[in-house]
Amino acid sequence: MPTEPETDYDPSLGNKFIFVTGGVMSGLGKGITAASTGRLLANAGFDVTAVKIDPYLNVDAGTMNPFQHGEVYVLKDGGEVDLDLGNYERFLDVDMTFDHNVTTGKTYQHVIEKERAGDYLGKTVQIIPHVTDDIKRRIREAAEGHDVCLVEVGGTVGDIEGMPFLEALRQFAHEEDDEDFLLTHVTLVPYSKNGEQKTKPTQHSVKELRSIGLQPDILVGRCEDKLDPSTREKIALFCDVPTDAVFSNPDVEDIYHVPLMVEEEGLDEYVMERLDLADDALPEAERDNEWRDLATQETHGEVDVALVGKYDLEDAYISVNEALKHAGLEKNVDVNVRWVDSEEMDDDHEQRLREADGIVVPGGFGSRGTAGKIDAVRYARENGVPYLGLCLGFQLAVVEYARNVLGLEGAHSAEIDEDTPHPVIDLLPEQYDLEDLGGTMRLGAHETDIEPDTLAAEVYGATTCTERHRHRYEVNPEYFDAFEDAGLTFSGRSGNRMEILELDDHPYFVGTQFHPEFRSRPTRASPPFVGLLDAVLAETEADAREEVEA
């Protein structure tokens, strides 16, 4: 976990803050709404950053199960954070740091450490002001140097866990000038049985906010459709905001359309007006249109990629899904990601694997589902199906090669089979003595040297790359030569750590010890993913040609 510096902040630095809270229920997509607003401000020329507040007691997301919370996102500084930070990085096209994720655990741990160190000089240490001060400090530090900082408070207003954060927010509103602070509240506007948009849940949620001293400036209603004019008026009247501060956030087919929808609603213009930014914004004609072009570009054709994992939950592999989508945007094709259950590969899943144009085995921990993943690797290798293995998917490609090409029976990763006769994936000797497993995880951005004239060098168009890591185990150096003699090339290395593998006699068989998906952006697709699609497209074109000739 990165260490935290603590600086004195100046509350009058002049940053602008947009806080985003949620009401009625969670999962309304307030993060995407916030990120979309941020994208539009960035298009208008502002430097935008974001902070995600997670009111749970975990210090960071590193130990959390992807099945409950979705993927653990990794930042360049090695911070293991909530997947929402990934959405902010992708929408705003920025690199954030661990300081941009504030959790209850992190805040309390810090305050308690300070208390133990005697920093509070005999005072009673309390939630107000000590915890709330610490929360405000973190937000202001993360915002420093940026024009606008979006601050999303996770959870729903009224949750016990969120209370200290909302109190900090109340103080924030009090301390900042009016034109530097906006509170946006996102709520659900459901339909009644007879098709009427109902505002009561919104009213109750705003009442809850007001009872803790917070008055929203902007209300966003999540609804299947746009809010009717009468619904907006009703919300405005009961929640005490102008009608033109009530916005709709209807369902859209693709989250990349949310910025376009927010723009159509005029939310960005309203925010700029309220934050006194309108005069500094780029004129309409000079704004960045790249996002719009991408979100509305026409695709030619589609490909199916099998994602072989153990979690039947889109959020568990969200960055991999996104990276495939970005590569699709670059290649102008729709990528259908088909989940294949590595744990119980029934006929349906087996068929999906066989019908796929490309196969991805993503990262993972523990033994569950690894046998199915190894089968998928073998299938891809033996049948010339383009393959990309990420972290565990890289390690299992090594295991599969050891077993089926080198003939090392029972070869495995020491993580999964402690007693394997051939630990081809293992802890490096320097890691053996470290008792605290948590501390040995290799996290964050590290540079890899890429061997010239390899597929990896071609894919990256460079002889180095810097990608993010989150792993503990490595290719065992004792087997390097045996692999290379048998045709498995380690084309990327970082000292004695193997980072990229590839096979010569295969259209595309690539594994990376790192996670390239975390650096993929809609406007800058990740090279190994683009390489995969290039190979898939070349194969499908070749198939089509064969069909025509036959």
Active site residues: 391, 515, 517
Closest CA to 23 of 180, 153, 252, 206: 206
What CA–CA distances, in Å, run from 9 to 19, 136, 143, 144, 396?
A: 19, 10, 10, 9, 48
| Minimal distance, residue 188 CB to ligand GLN, in Å | 35
364 lines the binding site for ligand GLN (CB under 6 A): yes
Single residue of 56, 108, 365, 480 touching ligand GLN by CB under 6 A: 365
- Nearer to ligand GLN by Cβ, of 403 and 442: the residue is 442
Q: Dihedral through CA 71, CA 74, CA 79, CA 82, nearest 10?
A: -30
392 lines the binding site for ligand GLN (CB under 6 A): yes
* DSSP letter, residue 524: B
Q: Which stretch binds ligand GLN (CB under 6 A): 239-247, 467-475, 490-498, 525-533?
A: 467-475
- Nearer to ligand GLN by Cβ, of 46 and 518: the residue is 518
- Nearer to ligand GLN by Cβ, of 331 and 515: the residue is 515
The letter for the amino acid at 308 is V
- Nearer to ligand GLN by Cβ, of 360 and 537: the residue is 360
What CA–CA distances, in Å, run from 408 to 348, 400, 497?
A: 31, 10, 21
391 lines the binding site for ligand GLN (CB under 6 A): yes
Q: What is the 3-state secondary structure (H, E, C) of 443-490?
A: EEEEEEEECCCCHHHHHHCCCEEEEEEEECCEECHHHHHHHHHCCEEE
- Nearer to ligand GLN by Cβ, of 28 and 388: the residue is 388
Tokens encoding 366: 């523990």
Q: Which stretch binds ligand GLN (CB under 6 A): 83-91, 162-170, 358-366, 399-407?
A: 358-366
497 lines the binding site for ligand GLN (CB under 6 A): no
On the 0-12 / 13-18 / 19+ scale of CB atoms within 10 A, 198 is: middle
363 lines the binding site for ligand GLN (CB under 6 A): yes
The dihedral built from the CA positions of residue 113, 115, 116 and 118, taken in this order, carries a sign that is positive
Closest residue to ligand GLN in the complex (CB): 363
- Nearer to ligand GLN by Cβ, of 91 and 529: the residue is 529
471 lines the binding site for ligand GLN (CB under 6 A): yes
Q: Which of residues 36-55 bind ligand GLN (CB under 6 A)?
A: none
Tokens encoding 518: 């975390």
141 lines the binding site for ligand GLN (CB under 6 A): no
The letter for the amino acid at 343 is E
Q: Dihedral through CA 105, CA 109, CA 115, CA 117, nearest 10?
A: -170
Single residue of 472, 480, 489, 507 touching ligand GLN by CB under 6 A: 472
Site string for ligand GLN, 412-431 (x = CB under 6 A): ---x----------------
374 lines the binding site for ligand GLN (CB under 6 A): no
Pairing of strands 464-471, 442-450: antiparallel
445 lines the binding site for ligand GLN (CB under 6 A): no
Q: What kind and span of H or E run contains 153? A: strand 148-153
**DSSP string for residues in 213-245:** T---SEEEEEESSPPPHHHHHHHHHHHTS-GGG
- Nearer to ligand GLN by Cβ, of 69 and 472: the residue is 472
| Minimal distance, residue 529 CB to ligand GLN, in Å | 16
Query: What Rg value do the Cα atoms of the chain yield, rounded?
Result: 25
Size of the site for ligand GLN (CB under 6 A): 11
31 lines the binding site for ligand GLN (CB under 6 A): no
Single residue of 470, 497, 506, 519 touching ligand GLN by CB under 6 A: 470
Site string for ligand GLN, 394-413 (x = CB under 6 A): -x------------------
Helix (H, G, I), strand (E, B) or coil at 497: strand
Residues interacting with ligand GLN, by CB under 6 A?
363-365, 391-392, 395, 415, 470-473
